[in-house]
Structure 1
């Protein structure tokens, strides 16, 4: 593919790329960016949600906490990971590990890749809405640096539940939106087949969201598909993470929290 064609992909092209089964998953990034990753399990309340991977790793000799939404590569893996759609216990596990990070002064790095939080009966029975809302509240006040990276799909509150951060980044061919283009088209146009139009109108690409100030950085992807050059991508992300965390660590905690608060307040302002 020529560079011009690569750069001129439509919003719908990027939706398809973000959902591609051969796109790197969170665990592939984790295993290639961090050393000595140790996964931690359970929410200490109900059980363990395999769609959320959480644990401790080392970034350039610095201990960090890692929270990630994990999809599968095939049907068996997707069933295990619930197609990357976390339940209430997944968000509670994420919060438990983040509070641990705060206690031990470890930076938190989140990888976002979900079509949305699971909307099944069992998730509602176990307090899905409350679990996500509590994450938003607690992450707003978490006394340690947080960076969240959208690596594939960033769908609705399911994504935001681990994306309240000091810096939010997106991979070049990822998407971040209030709901799927199909859902948007069904509601607004009364026709889910108009998803391509919806994808353009929703402004869900990294370029759109960087322009609006919703995200802080776009991680460029190679002209070839990302899965063809994972090592190069991970080296790039590792470098950016190290630089940004070192910068965030120099801020006094109250300034860090105030800046985080201001960042998300500005997102809610109506642009004239």
Structure 2
């Protein structure tokens, strides 16, 4: 599988972020020129369109050369960004979804089941945000309720029983904070899921593909190996939430994002994650195949690093990893 190195995006997004508006104008003009040429036979505007393509490519490189933490948050939340279901469809074979927590309900914000990865039987579990208005509402925008975490615990127990590696795909702004979720024991369910991650004696690897929000993300990402995509974020709270608490002003989210050290690059320095997965220029949504290939390669590498270890070693290493977390960055 190849690294996503191409400068030209293979697909243009259906929507643009605030800081991408100048880019949207140029790419829009190139599309308009090509549409005019198709409608008027004998009119050739390809040279003009290609000149705009080159200008757009240069602008895209400049925009993504040094993204601020807040802009990385925006990219991580891009509506066109591939989600858990997309990665499962692209990287796993024979996926058989397993539903319900055997207690209350099935939470569609969490999906999981048996599958094959590189012809190896595995258990895959992840947050799913949905890709249109209907599915986003059904999936609760990736914000899991207690039954979602209890479903994850059930699937991890099954994987442990049958000696199956567990792969988790993290993409959530955080666990759902609604009244019903709290009444059904949201914090306890998150804690049980985190505890189960620490207890299972099989390889557990995790990838943050977009947002890794608070305990809702940690409940899946307490793993032997954790990777983050280049423009993903992972933090104890959203920048808006942090700004509301510290400054009583959610508009200070840029300052909060800067202070929180939530980017993949920050967290690698702190020892919170183990590797960064490169993204195509302009974000994962601009070249989905390259993104799938890069994530698949990272998962394969991480599984290879821990496969064959004894049950006791997997558990010990996982616990040691989290006990020592942050010491690298503090010492520096």
Normalised by the length of structure 2, the TM-score is: 0.79
Of 139, 157, 163, the match for 2:215: 157
Match among 231, 238, 241 for residue 183 of structure 1: 241
Which aligned segments of 4 or more residues in structure 1 are displaced greater than 6 angstroms? none
Match of 2:4 in 1: none
What is the alpha-carbon root mean square deviation over aligned residues? 1.4
Q: Secondary structure at the match of 1:218?
A: strand
Q: Which residues of structure 2 form unaligned runs of 5+?
A: 1-56
Determine whether 1:226 maps to 2:226.
no
1:201 match: secondary structure: helix
Report how far residue 161 of structure 1 moved.
Answer: 1.1
Matches within 5 A, 1:47-62: 47-62=105-120
Q: What TM-score results when the alignment is normalised by the length of structure 1?
A: 0.96
User: Is the 2:156–2:196 Cα contact (8 Å) retained in structure 1?
Assistant: no
Which structure has the bigger radius of gyration?
2
1:271 and 2:330 are equivalent in the alignment: yes
- State the aligned residue count: 272
Alignment of 1:85-124 (within 5 A): 85-124=143-182
**Structure 2 residue 90 is the aligned partner of structure 1 residue 32:** yes
SS at match of 1:271: helix
Distance 1:207 1:161 in 2: 22
Q: Distance in 1 between matches of 2:82 and 2:298?
A: 18
Tell me the distance in 2 between the aligned counterparts of 1:191 and 1:224.
30
Task: Give CA-to-partner distance per residue, 1:180-201, whole Å, 9 cap, x none.
Answer: 1011111112211110111011
Name the CA distance, whole Å, in 1 between partners of 2:299 and 2:227: 10
Which among 293, 297, 306 is matched to residue 235 of structure 1?
293
Segments of structure 1 that go 5 or more residues without pairing to the other structure are none
| Aligned residue in 1 for 2:81 | 23
Deviation at 1:234, TM superposition (A): 1.4
**Does the CA contact (< 8 Å) of 2:229 and 2:264 recur in 1?**
yes
Distance in 2 separating the partners of 1:44 and 1:243: 34
Q: SS in structure 1 opposite 2:330?
A: coil
- Report the counterpart of residue 30 of structure 2 in structure 1: none
Equivalent position SS for 2:113? strand
Q: Deviations over 1:14-43 (max 9, x none)?
A: 110111111111100110011111111000
1:82 matched residue in structure 2: 140
| In structure 2, distance between residues paired with 1:179 and 1:234 | 27
Match of residue 302 from structure 2: 244
